[in-house]
Amino acid sequence: MDNALTGKMSQKGQVVIPAPIRRALGLQKGTKVSFEVKNNEIRIKKLPTALDWANLVKEIPVEDVEIDENGHYDSKKSPDFQDWMVNG
């Protein structure tokens, strides 16, 4: 989403995040966000949930990797580890 959207602050300092942005980021009631002020701008970030972290951990390859005393391993014996090391 590259279009700038505008809003208005209430007397209580509340600002509504426009619906297209909420949908794009999956923001729902109770979603936690962080605020950062830098160079006269406010940055709002969606904080990861426990489920987000759990899904991230699932992506980490689980493989027995033999690493020698020089820090080398056989990429053919550990293809998932090799892919993770190269591609992240």
Whether residues 4 and 20 share a domain: the answer is yes
Whether residues 66 and 30 share a domain: the answer is no
pLDDT confidence band for 1 (50 / 70 / 90): low
Could you give the 3-state DSSP secondary structure of residue 43? strand
pLDDT tens column, 42-56: 999 999 989 888 998
Sign of CA dihedral 5, 7, 13, 14: negative
Whether residues 3 and 41 share a domain: the answer is yes
Whether residues 43 and 53 share a domain: the answer is no
Total tally of structural domains belonging to the chain:
2
Q: Which amino acid is at 35?
A: F
Q: What is the mean pLDDT of residues 57-84?
A: 86
| Closest C-alpha among 46, 38, 39, 42 to residue 21 | 46
Domain span at 23: 1-47
Whether residues 56 and 87 share a domain: the answer is yes
The pLDDT, as a whole number, for residue 17 is 94
Q: What is the mean pLDDT of residues 79-84?
A: 85
pLDDT confidence band for 13 (50 / 70 / 90): very high
Whether residues 82 and 61 share a domain: the answer is yes
What phi, psi does 37 have (nearest 5°)? Answer: -110, 125
The pLDDT, as a whole number, for residue 36 is 97
